[in-house]
Structure 1
Amino acid sequence: MFEDSIAFIKSEYQGKDSIPLHEPFLSGNAKNYVNECIESSHVSSVGSFVNRFENMVAKYTNATYAIATINGTAALHLALILAGVNKGDEVITQPLTYVATVNAISYIGAQPIFIDVEKTTLGLSPEKLEHFLKTQTTVKNGCCFNKTTGKQIKAVVPMHTLGFPSRINDILDVCQSYQLKVIEDAAESLGSFYKDQHTGTFGLLGVLSFNGNKTITTGGGGIILTNDKAIALKAKHLSTNAKKEDSWGYVHDSIGYNYRMPALNAALGCAQMEELNNILLQKRRLAQRYAQFFKSKSIDFIKEPKDSHSNYWLNAICLENIEQRDLFLSETNSENIKTRPLWQLMNHLDIYTTAQQGNLENAIWLQERIVNLPSSVVNVKNEAAE
């Protein structure tokens, strides 16, 4: 049934026997910087590359501060702590996300609440969020409390799904009315902008991921973005085991975490940041070709939402129903084209079935229909954007 789609994808990745969903594009100074780091002997978190990488990301995103961590999950865990989330608190997020989003909440001993997403952005719905807060919470002494559980809701974690920006300004407006802090899960959205502002820079904190399958990679890694100096200083302190500055002693003033990014990873990250604009250009050109092809097949290709500029991290199509989705997945994967469905909804995982949730009709609808397409820039044709 999908022979034409298979032939088109293979034509985009000529010469590949197996076409991955998303593989890293390692070029430019990658080997040079990693070798330089090795020769310096500063391969852990000490050395110039970590600070250099942080400065490059901060400059690109226009965040005042960037603090590099070992991975995006660690960045989100630390961001929640920095936002004041404690054991027994509750955090609102979306069910359509990668499990790391919710696991980071659980690391603290907090409980997730799942609110539905939008079909247009794939991100947290401001309207569904406001409805839940209006009907299920009360604000006392500047704090938001859940009427059902009696627990305090401390924060909201919207995700910029697949790199598509959510309506973050509207989410912020709702949260401000209920004294809730916003931590953006921008793990997938390096290079994505909402109303000309980079994702991850709207809330109190934002996090990016540089896992091997992301737009750029440090092998493993993440980063915390913030415009708050005190939070930035505390983030760096806690990510280095809360060790106080001392000429030679080991003094730790609180429970910290071994979360600082190693210099070897940062060296690769510096080279990747130099290639970022080219990577994003190639990904946009690929998205344009996908959009044109699937339009001719009357299949919905997911495009960037209104007021947004997406990095098109993972290209995606929306099929008619779950049966058609599964048929597409079966036929493409049998041809070694590594298409994938969206994640299983978090509220459907055994570990999170007891979490409080709203009406999740949009998340269910999307999860049953969306397929992610190969989105690597490796061997993608370098033709002028239309």
Structure 2
Amino acid sequence: MADAALAPILDALQTVLGGERPVALHAPQFEGHEWDYLKDCLDTGWVSTAGGYVERFEQALCEATGIGQAIAVVNGTAALHLACRLAGVAPGDEVLLPSLTFVATANAVSYCGAMPHLVEVSPDTLGVDPAALAAHLEDIAEMRDGVCHNRRSGRPLRALIVMHTFGHPVELDAVAAVCERYRITLIEDAAEALGSRYQERHVGHWGRLGILSFNGNKILTTGGGGAILTNDAQLADRARHLSTTARQPQGWNFFHDELGYNYRLPNINAALGCAQLEQLPERLAAKRALAGRYQAAFRDCPGARMIEEPADSRSNYWLNALCLDSADEALRDALLAACEARGIQARPLWTPMHRLPMYRDCPRMALGVTEDLARRIVCLPSSAHLGVTA
């Protein structure tokens, strides 16, 4: 039965991928000035957290996104952690976030001593569902002295983190309206969404803070790396201070005025990022071309469909995701096994946060859509070079 159901799906995959084997889920590409910039770091000795490439990389990020301030840090998780601290998240708070996300989103909240509060996603965007969130807050939220609280737990609801899953933007205007109504700080987890736009603007403009990731599997990479995005210059200054161990500039003295973190991105990683950013337009075009090939191949495929960009959005299509018609984990796993046997690297969605041992007792709303999607979705090879035809 599974073989018959999988045959048209595997045939459609073959149409897109051809005979190339093995096929990675997402491989990095280095086709620009990477070697030149890295050699410059080695030749000059500027390989650590000081050096001109860090500022150059941050400025290039501002130009690429239209954001006023970018602060480069060691990885996306560090960026999320600092964003939570900058948003005022403190021990005893709750932070709303989707259960359908990579674990770093929830971990960053926990690093602050706060409690993740898990919310539902939309089947159209794979990100936070603003209507479901509004209904949930109507049920559980109350204002006390201008601060939104969870009336069931008594804890402040300090922030909402939305995650732009696979590069597909959430409904940011609707989400921002909910946050404004309840005076909740909006943070955009755009780790997967460099180059994605909502209503013609780059993601990151709706939240008070946003973050990016430049891990080796992202659309651009610095090896490890991330960034905090904000249009608030004071927040940016504080982010730079906290990410450099909160050291005060006092000549040769080592004086630190609060708890800080050694989170700044090294110059050698920033140099790699500068070279990669120069290739962003071509990379985005290749990713969209690959998404178009997948969509054409699966348009009439029985049993499955491709996840496509939501309305009012232009996705970077960081990962192409296949949604099976049947919410059958056994069928999903059979497809994953068949891909592996053919040298095709495919992956399921992340295990939802409410299924993980450290987060299973967190406050949460009904998560039926999250559970359903976790059983249906398979991530397909999405390296940009697959979208480039000879």
Interval of TM-score (by shorter of Structure 1 and Structure 2): over 0.9
CA contact under 8 A between 2:305 and 2:325: conserved in structure 1?
A: no
Partner of 1:247: 251
Partner of 2:318: 313
Q: How does 1:205-354 map to 2 (within 5 A)?
A: 205-298=209-302, 299-321=304-326, 322=328, 323-354=330-361
Query: What is the CA–CA distance in structure 2 between the aligned matches of 1:162 and 1:296, rounded to whole Å?
Result: 23
Q: Distance in 1 between matches of 2:71 and 2:384?
A: 27
Q: Give yes or no for contact 1:218–1:265 (8 Å, CA) kept in 2.
A: yes
Q: 2:362 aligns with which of 355, 363, 369?
A: 355
> 2:15, 2:130 → 1: CA distance?
40
- CA positional deviation for 1:67: 0.1
Give the equivalent residue in structure 2 for 1:87. 91
Separation in 1, partners of 2:171, 2:387: 31
Which consecutive unaligned segments of at least 5 residues does structure 2 have? none
1:148 shift after superposition:
0.8
| C-alpha separation in 2, matches of 1:324 and 1:317 | 13
Gaps of 5+ in 1: none
Corresponding letter in the other structure for 1:170:
A
Aligned residue number for residue 26 of structure 1: 30
**For the residues of structure 2 that align with 1:84 and 1:308, how far apart are their CA atoms?**
30
| TM-score with structure 2 setting the length | 0.95
2:385 paired with 1:368: no
Distance across 1 between alignment mates of 2:299 and 2:14: 18
TM-superposed CA distance for 1:156, in Å, is 0.4
Greater shift after overlay, 313-322 or 220-229?
A: 313-322
TM-superposition CA deviations, 1:230-283 (whole Å, max 9, x none):
100000011000111132221111111000000111000000000111011001
Shift of 1:327: 2.1
1:60 maps to 2:67: no
Residues 12 and 380 in structure 1, CA contact (< 8 A), matched pair in contact too:
no
Deviations 1:38-81 (A, max 9, x none): 11111111010000000001111000000000000000000000
Q: 1:198 matched to which residue of 2?
A: 202
Q: Give the Å deviation of 1:8.
A: 5.0
The 3 A distance-change label for structure 1 pair 359 and 239 is same
d(CA) in 1 for partners of 2:18 and 2:241? 48
What SS does structure 2 have at the residue aligned with 1:158? Answer: strand
User: Which residue does the alignment assign to 1:160?
Assistant: 164
CA offsets per residue over residues 185-221 of structure 1, 9 Å max, x none? Answer: 0100001000011112211000000000001000000
Are the counterparts in 2 of residues 14 and 379 from structure 1 also a CA contact under 8 Å?
no
State the identity as a percent: 44
CA distance in 1, matches of 2:30, 2:16: 19
User: Normalising by the residue count of structure 1, what TM-score does the alignment of the two structures yield?
Assistant: 0.96
- Give the length in aligned residue pairs: 383
**Contact 1:114 1:357 (8 Å CA) reproduced:** yes
2: distance between equivalents of 1:380 and 1:283?
Answer: 6
CA contact (8 A) 1:200 1:208 kept: no
CA–CA distance in 2 between the matches of 1:261 and 1:16? 35
Opposite residue 84 of structure 1, the aligned amino acid is G
Q: Partner of 1:378: helix, strand, or coil?
A: helix
Q: Deviations over 1:4-38 (max 9, x none)?
A: 54455456455643111101111110111111111
- 1:355 maps to a residue whose letter is C
- RMSD, aligned α-carbons: 1.3
Alignment partner of 1:105 is 2:109? yes
What code does the residue aligned with 1:318 have? C
Q: Is the 8 A contact 2:286 2:385 kept in 1?
A: no
